[in-house]
Structure 1
Amino acid sequence: MAARPSPLRAWLLCGTLDIAYAALWSIAAGGTVGGMLRGVAKGPFGDGAAGWGPGGAVAGLATHYAIMGAMVAAFVGFAPRWSARTGWPWWLTGTLYGLLLYLIMNAAVLPLRFGAPFPPADPVKGLVALFPHIAFVGLPLAWLYLRGDKQ
């Protein structure tokens, strides 16, 4: 089996894929990348971060990568052992990990911080939020770390 990549590379890959998706979705929805990033900053820094201008966008980007660091670290720490115990293929482990991340963010973190409803009233918004957790975090991590273990 080939050597596994560094967690730093996995963190940068998944974080960049996920934030690029969020940026494109924000633009497609009529918003701005800066506004989306300031919205992320509101999580830990409060509603005032929305008025911080470029500094709020930088704080949002830092927040995004900090959260992604925790997501990658949890996967790197536990998924290889979990995968070895279950015998699941990498793509199933990645899909389920992405679903778990979606549930943590959308059923716990966002409702507790912002009062966001779960499940979302609009199923399209739910899918828009679910997709990147699986496609840009769970599957890439599983592919990077588990694909050589079993096919």
Structure 2
Amino acid sequence: MTVARKTAISPLAAVLGGGLTAAVLDITYAFVAFGLRGVSPARILQSIASGALGKAAYRAGAGSALLGALLHLAIALVMAAVYVAASRRLPALNRRPWLWGPLYGIGCYLVMNYVVLLARFGPRPAPPLEVLVGGVAIHMVGVGLPIALFAARAALSPPLPTASSPPERPSRS
């Protein structure tokens, strides 16, 4: 019987893999959950674009839906980049991605909903309990966890040089 070995990936691959996975899982959840409430995917993406365009996003058609998709992806990539960078400095994050990833997902949910959206749109009514629970759950399992798992794979590669460490010299043979 052969044992599969985990292979290292670069930190950039971890950011891209974790961010893309998180973006796809999160938006798929939104399409399904809010689709069951009668909201179209285009409207969901336009609501993301409304962070940049305001109410005009809802009148801009497919262009603002595309902008919303790109913004959603960019936000997920930033979330992944932050975690991967932190995991390079705090190796404990890589030893327990099944714990730290979901906790990071909760943090992402809180920052997005109670810092970013609050700053952009002001106070909003509390969401229905099922929306709150679903939002937290998808951020734990669909955002934080995949980002942490990709970061843990990147931790198998050598650490990045710091400003205080001298560059490696090629050996003379």
- Residue of structure 2 equivalent to 1:138: 144
1:68 Cα offset (Å) = 0.9
Q: Alignment partner of 2:39: what SS?
A: coil
Deviating above 3 A after TM superposition, structure 1's stretches of 4 or more consecutive aligned residues are: 85-88
Larger Rg: 2
Please give the alpha-carbon distance, in whole angstroms, between the structure 2 residues aligned to 1:86 and 1:16.
Answer: 23
Please give the alpha-carbon distance, in whole angstroms, between the structure 2 residues aligned to 1:130 and 1:140.
Answer: 15
AA of the residue aligned to 1:144: F
The alignment yields a C-alpha RMSD, in angstroms, of 2.2
Q: Alignment partner of 1:46: what SS?
A: helix
1:121 Cα offset (Å) = 5.0
Unaligned runs of 5+ in 2: 1-5, 156-173
Please give the alpha-carbon distance, in whole angstroms, between the structure 1 residues aligned to 2:154 and 2:61.
Answer: 45
- Residue of structure 2 equivalent to 1:30: 38
Unaligned runs of 5+ in 1: none
Q: How does 1:49-60 map to 2 (within 5 A)?
A: 49-60=57-68
- Residue of structure 1 equivalent to 2:20: 12
Please give the alpha-carbon distance, in whole angstroms, between the structure 2 residues aligned to 1:121 and 1:9.
Answer: 30
Distance change (3 Å), C-alpha of 1:77 and 1:107: same
Q: How high is the TM-score relative to the length of structure 2?
A: 0.75
How many aligned positions are there?
Answer: 147
Please give the alpha-carbon distance, in whole angstroms, between the structure 2 residues aligned to 1:27 and 1:14.
Answer: 19
- Which structure features the higher share of helix residues? 1
**Using CA pairs below 8 Å that are at least 6 residues apart, which structure has the higher relative contact order?**
2
Greater shift in the superposed pair: 87-96 or 40-49: 87-96
Q: How high is the TM-score relative to the length of structure 1?
A: 0.85
Q: How does 1:94-133 map to 2 (within 5 A)?
A: 94-117=101-124, 120=126, 122-133=128-139
- Residue of structure 2 equivalent to 1:3: 8
Please give the alpha-carbon distance, in whole angstroms, between the structure 2 residues aligned to 1:16 and 1:62.
Answer: 12
